[in-house]
Structure 1
Amino acid sequence: MVEKDYRVIDSAGIHARPASLLVQVANQYNCDLDIMFNNRKANLKSIIGVMSLSIPLNSVIKISATGSDEKEAINALSDVILQQELGV
């Protein structure tokens, strides 16, 4: 299992557009991917799951990956989060 924490810096939080982007990237990998916020967890391959967390600005989120391509998935998601200025 690989985990990584981020602080959300997008003023709108993780809203529809960035959530969709994260889900698209997550679905390119075979490993299980979860996003955790406020003691709640959602499947990062589900837009409904990610949106249901209602992640606001300055939240700390954790992304975890378990499976054969977990490191590659975490790296790709990190790139999206940093490039899209969603989190640090």
Structure 2
Amino acid sequence: MVQVKTTINLKTGLQARPAALFVQEANHFSSRVEIEKSGKKVNAKSIMGMMSIAARKGEEITIIVQGPDENEAIETLKAFVEKEEI
């Protein structure tokens, strides 16, 4: 298992379209992917889970990945939330 704390830099945060794109990206990996924000942990491969945390620009999240491709997954997903636009 690997995890990394990062700050959301996307202009619109991880809501609506960016959340859907993040879920698509997470689903490319076979590892289990979770996001933790303010003590709440959700399945990052679920759009409903991602929408429920309502992550905005400037907020800190923890990406937690466990599985065979965890290192590649965590780097890809961290880069996704740290860029300004998609």
Fold shared by both chains (TM-score > 0.5): yes
Q: CA RMSD in A?
A: 1.5
Q: Tell me how far apart the structure 1 counterparts of residues 11 and 67 of structure 2 sit (CA, whole Å).
A: 32
Shift of 1:8: 2.0
Which letter maps to 1:12?
T
Aligned structure 1 segments of 4 or more residues deviating by more than 4 angstroms: none
Aligned-pair CA distance for 1:22: 0.8
Q: How many residues align?
A: 85
| Identity of matched residues, % | 36
Q: What is the aligned partner in structure 2 of residue 72 from structure 1?
A: 72
Using the size of structure 2 for normalisation, the TM-score is 0.87
| Match of residue 60 from structure 1 | 60
| 2:36 maps to amino acid | M
Displacement of 1:11 in angstroms is 4.3
Superimposed CA distance per residue, residues 2-23 of structure 1 (whole angstroms, 9 cap, x where no aligned partner): 1111112334322111111110
Residue in structure 2 matched with residue 38 of structure 1 by the alignment: 38
Quick one: distance in 2 between partners of 1:24 and 1:11? 19
Q: Which residues of 2 match residues 2-41 of structure 1 at below 5 A?
A: 2-41=2-41
User: Distance between the aligned counterparts of 2:53 and 2:81, measured in 1?
Assistant: 17
Asked if the contact 2:6–2:82 (Cα under 8 Å) also holds between the matched residues in 1, the reply is no
Runs of 5+ unmatched residues, structure 1 = none
Report the more deviating stretch, 9-18 or 43-52.
9-18
